Structure 1
């Protein structure tokens, strides 16, 4: 009887639309638009257990995430910059039902609500949960920053697939300042700014809960941008990296230098992060 009750409770989710669960970003036009000239980088494509998420909130798309379900952190988030219009700071965190089952809805939803509605289903097999971060000593560090969006895209950044365990000092100081500097740059110079923000997982550094390795604590954060004019021609590009420690330092790089940095962590060529390396 309990099994029947559970199945009946799951039926609405099982019947939900799941068009956002894609094998390739290129197969979803509403998702690939977050990459400059719809060129998806090769970086991270061969990550074991990678899931491609077209992040949807209030029935529309907002950004794209290549998510590492084994480490339970994103490989990267891809988005277009938007000037903030204020508001949109969520007090609760979203999870992705599509990572619980591919047949479930792609619309992000509050983890506490989904958990209460489906108490017999574990949500955290392939994604981080809010309780993983509680008393962990790490911030829920946004990759795609909420301050680079207007509402409702700003709300959508509060999904746990868009955060990594980030050193609080780094998150609240140099990385925050770096994001603010990018805001000023994008507003001043760019008609559009395409951005990638990612994390390099550590070998053996995890948030552990009940003796289980739950969420990998990345060694580095990185980002890269391609700024274009009204004719979609590149104006400026740049990148940065930061060790996820109390060092609290952000190192500014070129796209070429970032590629060389990322190459240290891959046996396969990094390739272009943006179409034609964001060159005019």
Structure 2
């Protein structure tokens, strides 16, 4: 089963970050604002939307709007989604430690990856929706483990990071608004004690569409990288990227935007 996770920012005096879990994006109109369509209106609350595969404990993709960074550091903590443990629990990203104190003895990792899954396995926690594509305090919402995949450390810290920086420059210079999709193509596993826990991507892909002040597309493209130490990102058109993605599924890919 796949369920979608919509990350929400609730702006209070404490700038709390929260999340909602829904079974379909269309159930929450704010989620749909992260997918380009003519005449759309700006979102009121939601930072980004993630389609999350709870069986493989990895995101299918994240969809977001680019925001110019206003400085500030990285969040030092990693968060889990309480509603993926129990759908009746209150929405709100929490550290595993804090959630464990609120609900002693409850296993948190049945339907999502945990921080411990990434320890001592040689993979980075690779952001799909990068924190550098958001302003403070919104960027803290990207540090949920539903927004990361096991990423080769050399790729994550070198050319993929530079690719994200190049996109940020493009979006600032050329776009009134940029719509972005980022996802993995995953087949392998990492695990503990012979237990399958998290799928490891073979590839990471990115697609974007820039629009002007009237909501008309002005530029689009995408990138594709093998999740290896080869450390290479190849640029693609949206059509070319869509054709590549079709090789990995027996279901229609459709238009990316």
Equivalence map 1:37-76=2 (5 Å)? 37=37, 60-76=45-61
**TM-score, normalising length: structure 1:** 0.81
Aligned alpha-carbon RMSD (Å): 1.6
- Conservation of the 8 A alpha-carbon contact between 2:19 and 2:81: no
* Corresponding position of 1:243: 226
* Corresponding position of 1:165: 150
Aligned equivalents of 2:111, 2:38: Cα separation in 1 = 27
Q: Deviations over 1:71-121 (max 9, x none)?
A: 111000000000011225111101001111211222211121112322210
Aligned equivalents of 2:88, 2:30: Cα separation in 1 = 20
- Conservation of the 8 A alpha-carbon contact between 2:38 and 2:215: no
**Number of matched pairs:** 235
- Conservation of the 8 A alpha-carbon contact between 1:26 and 1:38: no
* Corresponding position of 2:20: 20
* Corresponding position of 1:7: none
Offset, 1:21: 2.7
SS at match of 1:218: strand
**Residues 1:257 and 2:237 are matched in the alignment:** no
Q: Deviations over 1:139-166 (max 9, x none)?
A: 0000000000001220100000000000
Structure 2 unmatched runs, 5+: 1-17, 40-44
- Conservation of the 8 A alpha-carbon contact between 1:88 and 1:154: no
Aligned equivalents of 2:182, 2:199: Cα separation in 1 = 17
* Corresponding position of 1:51: none
**Residues 1:179 and 2:154 are matched in the alignment:** no
Structure 1 pair 88/153, CA: closer, same or farther in 2 (3 Å)?
farther
- Conservation of the 8 A alpha-carbon contact between 2:31 and 2:49: yes
Q: Deviations over 1:237-266 (max 9, x none)?
A: 001110001111101000000100000011
Aligned equivalents of 2:102, 2:117: Cα separation in 1 = 20
Greater alpha carbon shift after TM alignment, 209-218 vs 156-165: 209-218
Aligned equivalents of 1:186, 1:72: Cα separation in 2 = 30
Aligned equivalents of 1:196, 1:206: Cα separation in 2 = 23
* Corresponding position of 2:88: 103
Equivalence map 1:125-144=2 (5 Å)? 125-144=110-129
SS at match of 2:206: strand
**Residues 1:232 and 2:232 are matched in the alignment:** no
* Corresponding position of 1:207: 190
Offset, 1:19: 9.2
* Corresponding position of 1:49: none
Of 188, 191, 195, 2:176 maps to: 191
SS at match of 1:37: coil
SS at match of 1:20: strand
Higher Cα radius of gyration: 1
- Conservation of the 8 A alpha-carbon contact between 2:19 and 2:93: no
* Corresponding position of 1:50: none
Aligned equivalents of 1:74, 1:172: Cα separation in 2 = 20
